[in-house]
Structure 1
Amino acid sequence: MRRGTNLVAAAVTLACVVGLGACAQIPTSGPVRVGTADVETQVDIAMLPQGPTVGADPYAIVLGFLGAAVAATTSPKEFQTAREFLTSDVVDTWDPEASVRVVREPPVPEPMESSAELGDADTVEVAVQATAIATLDSAGAYTEVGDPRELDYRFTVTRSGGEWRISALDNGVLVPANLFANQYRATRLFFPAADDMESLVPDLRWFPRQSWRRVAVEELLAGPPEWLQGATQSLVPDGTQLASPSISESDDGEPVAVRLSEQISKAPSAQRSVIAEQISATLSEGAGRPVSVDLFSDTNRLAVEDADVDLPATTAQAMALKNGQLYLIDDGRVVEHELPVDLSGIDPTALAVSPVATPIVVRDGTDQIVSISPDGENGPVPILQGPDLAAPSIDNLGATWTSGGVGELKVYTAALEEVTVEPDWLKGRKVISVSVAPEGSRAAIVSETPTGTQVHVAGIVRDNEGAPVDLAATPLAVGAPVDDVVEARWSGLTTLALLTRDNEGKSGIWTAGVGGLAGTGGQSAKLPGLTDVAQMTAGVTDEGILVVSKDGDLEHEETGVWQPLAEDVDLVAYPG
């Protein structure tokens, strides 16, 4: 088959779209930064897709369609050009937003027969194979694939009015991994916590760059996702929709006008203020700078007072345990704690520090957790017992979390009561790590299954007294490609630090996104330089990840390099 200029034009388009090497370069490597700012400032690069050329053969039509579909998310025409490759009967039925499959390599059609061998055929089939490494659903939720899947796409191409056009295809689009972060913008939505509407809980999504503001506000109005059900709430009155699809930011820094349907006026003043803050925080995260918002009910500007909302953050210093004494990690220095602790008769194997001053707890061996008093007056007080307890985590209400039996979590509340949490999705799994996010609405769980370890994040459902009673029924899978995870800790608003250890005892530190890792186009990333980590801690803070090596060296990650802080350290923990 002669492809000539038709194929050259399509190939050039796809090369710019999927390679982005000579056309414009989006960073896909370099130092991994962790902390509160884990959604990086993002630059929009628009791509102008090319439509079909006269006389293009089936191979060129499919190749051109693949390029136009990828470029659509940054093009002012969106998917209009991609639809030019389709027959009239599928133009309106093809749904490009139904799903996105992130593929390892640029998708290219398989070679076809020559033109002469096509003969008088009016319909041919063109195959495209690709390896999926992640998916993006219609709500913008990103999920890594644990075992990359080989996809076999089939395009039916038919002569229509003398030209070849695609007459049958699957919904959705294929996006090469090296281009994903340019075509889709990482944007955190914020939802009020169920027990405190001024505490905002983040949920990372990915939206087409051309329309990300509109889609982000629509998803906010739709309410929290399944994995946050019961842990967060929606303050938006039922039926509220965007009254105008245009949400554009002014160049002079003026507030963004968000025009909603008249139902928004039913929201009480205090709730309306939080809704405005939700939208402001979401648009600010996506833009990488503060964005203020004016709310409208149709054309009427609403009076909105400022709301004092909080985002998750680790505000207290990390602590270390060395030779039976507590130390503070203060601006890269290890400073002895002014008050002594009594560790008589216990074997400290894990440390947890409360975000609200007390308690401070340690795991004694593997089957007991004790509370220690940093005043020298009281000895260790046992609070939780059981075999193979996970390293403890203390939430923002002062409750201590660890594992229970199979399928269980144990919690010792600030009211000095033991609570067992048994989410259905944990049945049959042994929990080996639990970490509660700073705002107390999310828990990261590492569990063992017959096929290996898995990491999930789920909303925490609490009763009226703040005691946990369950986790959200549908958890979010995180870091699926990362094997042998033994511990997970929150290291950003929507980022987890993962400690891995293989059968030979070699360890590693990964960062994985709760909804995708923004700085790497969604994919989990391994931090270099560590193979002998005994213990890890992290916090939602710019201070980064801390590790203790098997030799007792305390190290801190800074711009991709591990810096020594102290020697002969036993344990370390950020609050949480």
Structure 2
Amino acid sequence: MRKGTHVVAAVAALACAVTLGACAQIPTSGPVRVSTANADPQVDIALLPQGPAVGAEPRAIVSGFLGAAVAATTSPKEFQTAREFLTDDAAGTWDPDGSVRVVREPPLLEPSVSGVDVKDGETVEVAAHATTIATLDTAGTYTEVGNPRELSYRFTLTQAGGEWRISGLDNGVLVPANLFANQYRATRLYFPAEGNIKSFVPDMRWFPRQSWRRDAVQELLAGPPEWLQGATRSLVPEGTQLVSPSIQDTDGNEPVAVRLSEQISTAPAAERSVVAAQISATLSEGAGRTVAVDLFSDTSRLSVDQTDVDLPATIVQAMALQDDQLYRVEDGRLVEHDVPVDLSALDPTALALSPATTPVVVRDGTDQIVNVSSDDEGGPVTLIVGPDLAAPSVDKFGNTWSSGDTGELQVSTKTVEVVEVEPDWLSGRKVLSVSVSPEGSRIAVVSQAPTGTQVQVAGIVRNGEKVPVDLAPPISVAAPVARVEEARWSGLTTLALLASDGEGTSGVWNAGVGGLPGAGGQSKQLPGLTDVVQLAAGVADKGIMVITKDGDLEHEETGVWQPLAEDVDLVAYPG
């Protein structure tokens, strides 16, 4: 067989659909049901796919099916039209939710060689060739593919009654990358932190636009994903289900009715209010406003009090080190810091500070992590010692993180006790970078093995004293980005990455933990700089800062790098 050059017409036509806005954030604190989201609303566009034409040839049938399957996520008919291209038996067994493959370009169709005359009951085969760059599982979790390669998806067609229909195919759908964000809605779910139910931890998912509200609430009811187990919890009583098959948005500020099964009424009032806040925060994603929620137990409206919750945010300004002097980075300039530090006997090679301003921590050379803001009359206090330590990260509870031997992390607690965290998934890997999220429930780890570097994010499991004891199984982030050296939290569910080509050229990438909103899920390189040596980032519009090889401190603003200062040694946001 010779590969055809025909691009799936129905799928390509959808590329003309209006591009939707990026997923926006909701407020980071305050009453969830009252405050106003500072965001551009996402607009849902319904596409109406066409059914099979009379007398259509096999290739046209497959082409039409692929287009109808993609359009189904926004069509009021959902997958009804797509099933018209299938035989009755295939229509009854095909599961469109079985898998979603995001492909680089619309599939190319290649028919099998067949005879000129085909009798009823005989079959032909059509192959669709496409390169998968990401997958979406049944829970809406987006994962980029590290080494994309072209695969062949085969469709068997049968002619009955003079019309071709698909009788054999794989479950799932193929979605071209340029259409993915139009058809699937980026939505953050929010789960209560294990040690503080009013501290929300976000988890990015992607749902079909036609059913995103229903799917999002169902996933909230299902509880935290594996990678957040032990770091977050569910307050939803076991067995609670969504009673209504759909959740309809309302005009203006009217509450959205969410009808759950009677188990929800057994939740304590305080926890029920947090569940309502979870749903409100999730439904507010991209709405341009805070969506109020009325909870129902079947048909009975429940009394739910308003509650204040917190979303991850970097509150304190960045700090920079210049000529052994600490400065605050304020309004585009360096302002001398009032915390006394003594760096005279140290060789600072990395800087970290607590979300609570102190401690201020530096890496001394490559083998020592030191608290330089200690009140101890003896001066700086050594926290962690070891060869080739990763740049430190200080969490909101005052614990200082760095690397350890292969396969482990070292954490210095507030009492300067060093604990080792050795998750199974780090076995045999050298840790290059660690970064704890502002709320303290997640950690981004860059590690290295002979096969290359890997960026992973996992929930942090802590004991009653907030000391970390383990990490949950991780999810992979930015798999296509090679030679990552450093990762820093730059948004609720985004990371800024410093990557190098190994030959002196380095740059900054944005990557999504669960997909990057506004980029169709895919990691994206920021243009303009190729000589970055250090990276810092903050959550909630703080932005990204870098230091170049020449010591220039630059700040990224809407895709443009703005110079702030020269001859800067180190820079860090809290965390």
TM-score, normalised via structure 2 length: 0.94
Q: Paired residue for 1:566? A: 565
Of 65-74 and 105-114, the range deviating more from structure 2: 105-114
- Equivalent of residue 24 in structure 1, options 1, 18, 21: 18
Q: Paired residue for 1:225? A: 225
Q: Paired residue for 1:247? A: 247
- Equivalent of residue 12 in structure 2, options 9, 12, 15: 15
Structure 2 counterpart of 1:150, one-letter code: E
1:116 aligned counterpart, secondary structure = coil
Shift of 1:41: 4.0
Shift of 1:525: 0.2
Q: Paired residue for 1:295? A: 295
**Structure 1 residues 70 and 221, CA gap change in structure 2 (3 angstroms):** same
1:217 aligned counterpart, secondary structure = helix
Of 363-372 and 333-342, the range deviating more from structure 2: 333-342
Structure 2 counterpart of 1:96, one-letter code: P
For 1:265 and 1:306, the matched residues in 2 are separated by 17
Structure 1 counterpart of 2:18, one-letter code: A
Q: Paired residue for 1:466? A: 466
| 1:211-253 CA distance string (max 9 Å, x none) | 0000000000000011111111000000000010121111132
**Structure 1 residues 519 and 61, CA gap change in structure 2 (3 angstroms):** same
Superposed counterparts of 1:382-531, under 5 Å: 382-472=382-472, 474-531=473-530
**Structure 1 residues 56 and 38, CA gap change in structure 2 (3 angstroms):** farther
Shift of 1:38: 12
For 1:549 and 1:208, the matched residues in 2 are separated by 42
Shift of 1:543: 2.4
Q: Retained in 2: the 8 A contact 1:553–1:567?
A: yes
Superposed counterparts of 1:152-191, under 5 Å: 152-191=152-191
| 1:297-316 CA distance string (max 9 Å, x none) | 01111000111111000001
2:155 aligned counterpart, secondary structure = strand
Superposed counterparts of 1:84-99, under 5 Å: 84-99=84-99
Q: CA RMSD in A?
A: 2.1
| 1:192-217 CA distance string (max 9 Å, x none) | 01111111000000000000000000
2:178 aligned counterpart, secondary structure = helix
Shift of 1:136: 0.2
Shift of 1:356: 1.5
User: Is 1:332 paired with 2:326?
Assistant: no
2:146 aligned counterpart, secondary structure = strand
Q: Retained in 1: the 8 A contact 2:552–2:568?
A: yes
| 1:387-411 CA distance string (max 9 Å, x none) | 0100000001010000010000000
Structure 2 counterpart of 1:262, one-letter code: E
For 1:520 and 1:40, the matched residues in 2 are separated by 16
For 1:185 and 1:39, the matched residues in 2 are separated by 15
Q: Retained in 1: the 8 A contact 2:105–2:130?
A: yes
Structure 1 counterpart of 2:230, one-letter code: G
Shift of 1:188: 0.1
Shift of 1:108: 3.2
Shift of 1:572: 0.5
**Structure 1 residues 565 and 112, CA gap change in structure 2 (3 angstroms):** same
| 1:434-470 CA distance string (max 9 Å, x none) | 0000000000000001111000000000111111000
Q: Paired residue for 1:5? A: none
Structure 2 counterpart of 1:289, one-letter code: R
Shift of 1:374: 7.2
**Structure 1 residues 223 and 387, CA gap change in structure 2 (3 angstroms):** same
Shift of 1:160: 2.6
Structure 1 counterpart of 2:274, one-letter code: V
Superposed counterparts of 1:123-138, under 5 Å: 123-138=123-138
Q: Retained in 2: the 8 A contact 1:38–1:495?
A: no
2:90 aligned counterpart, secondary structure = helix
Shift of 1:281: 0.3
**Structure 1 residues 289 and 482, CA gap change in structure 2 (3 angstroms):** same
Superposed counterparts of 1:207-286, under 5 Å: 207-286=207-286
1:383 aligned counterpart, secondary structure = strand
Q: Paired residue for 1:554? A: 553
Structure 2 counterpart of 1:544, one-letter code: G
Shift of 1:289: 2.5
For 1:171 and 1:380, the matched residues in 2 are separated by 61
Q: Retained in 1: the 8 A contact 2:144–2:478?
A: yes
Shift of 1:151: 1.5
For 1:504 and 1:40, the matched residues in 2 are separated by 41
Q: Retained in 1: the 8 A contact 2:21–2:42?
A: no
Q: Paired residue for 1:3? A: none
Q: Retained in 2: the 8 A contact 1:344–1:379?
A: no
Shift of 1:43: 2.2
Shift of 1:562: 0.6
Of 414-423 and 256-265, the range deviating more from structure 2: 414-423
Q: Paired residue for 2:51? A: 51
Shift of 1:416: 2.1
| 1:501-522 CA distance string (max 9 Å, x none) | 2221211000000000011000
TM-score, normalised via structure 1 length: 0.94
1:14 aligned counterpart, secondary structure = helix
Aligned length: 560
Shift of 1:376: 10
Shift of 1:170: 0.2
Q: Retained in 1: the 8 A contact 2:370–2:384?
A: yes
Of 333-342 and 494-503, the range deviating more from structure 2: 333-342
Structure 2 counterpart of 1:179, one-letter code: L
2:425 aligned counterpart, secondary structure = helix
| 1:478-515 CA distance string (max 9 Å, x none) | 00000010000000000000001222121100000000
For 1:13 and 1:132, the matched residues in 2 are separated by 19
For 1:151 and 1:466, the matched residues in 2 are separated by 47
Q: Paired residue for 1:360? A: 360
Q: Retained in 1: the 8 A contact 2:374–2:380?
A: no
Structure 2 counterpart of 1:15, one-letter code: A
Superposed counterparts of 1:104-123, under 5 Å: 104-111=104-111, 113=113, 116=116, 118=118, 122-123=122-123
For 1:527 and 1:351, the matched residues in 2 are separated by 23
**Structure 1 residues 453 and 575, CA gap change in structure 2 (3 angstroms):** same
| 1:117-152 CA distance string (max 9 Å, x none) | 657772111111100000000000000001002221
For 1:479 and 1:112, the matched residues in 2 are separated by 37
Q: Retained in 1: the 8 A contact 2:551–2:569?
A: yes
Task: Give the % identical residues.
Answer: 71
Unaligned 5+ runs, structure 2: 1-5, 29-36
Q: Retained in 1: the 8 A contact 2:433–2:445?
A: yes
Q: Retained in 1: the 8 A contact 2:38–2:288?
A: no
Shift of 1:91: 1.2
Shift of 1:341: 1.4
For 1:51 and 1:227, the matched residues in 2 are separated by 41
Q: Retained in 2: the 8 A contact 1:38–1:492?
A: no
Shift of 1:323: 0.7
Q: Retained in 2: the 8 A contact 1:343–1:379?
A: no
Q: Paired residue for 1:4? A: none
For 2:88 and 2:74, the matched residues in 1 are separated by 24
User: Is 1:307 paired with 2:331?
Assistant: no
**Structure 1 residues 276 and 510, CA gap change in structure 2 (3 angstroms):** same
